[in-house]
Amino acid sequence: MTPTRAALGLAVLLAAAAARAAEPAPPLEEDPRAPRFHEVEHGAFTTLETGWFTLFKTRVADRARYPYAGAGGGAASGWLAGARLGTELGDRFALAGVVLVGNASASPSYGAFDLLMIGGDLRAAVWRGADRQGVDRLLLYLHGRAGWLATRPDGLFGSSDLLLGGGPGLEYYTHLRHFSIGLALDGIYAVSAGAPGLAVTPTVTYTF
Is residue 39 domain-resident? no
Q: For the segment 21-47, what is each residue's pLDDT rounded down to a tens digit?
A: 455 555 656 656 655 678 899 999 999
Domain-embedded: residue 127: yes
* Domain CATH number, residue 111: 2.40.160.20
pLDDT score of 14: 47
Work out how many domains the chain is built from and give that number: 1
Query: What confidence tens digit (pLDDT) does each residue in 95-128 have?
Result: 999 999 999 999 999 999 999 999 999 999 999 9
Averaged pLDDT score across all residues of the chain = 89
Neighbouring residues of 91: CB distance < 8 A, sequence distance ≥ 6: 125
How large is the average pLDDT for residues 83-105?
97
What is the distance of C-alpha 19 from the center of its chain? 61
Residue 24 within a domain: no
> How far apart are the C-alpha atoms of 145 and 40, rounded to whole Å?
25
pLDDT value of position 29: 62
| 77: containing domain | 44-207
Please indicate, yes or no, if residue 11 is contained in any of the structural domains.
no
Asked, for residue 4, whether it belongs to a domain, the answer is no
In a domain, 141, yes or no: yes
pLDDT of 166-175, one tens digit each?
999 999 999 9
Distances (CA, A) of 128 to 93, 103, 136, 205: 13, 34, 6, 17
Domain for residue 19, yes or no?
A: no
Per the domain annotation, does 52 fall within a domain?
yes
| 124-128 LR contacts (CB < 8 Å, sep 24+) | 124/92, 124/93, 125/91, 125/92, 125/93, 126/168
Rounded to two decimals, the pTM is 0.80
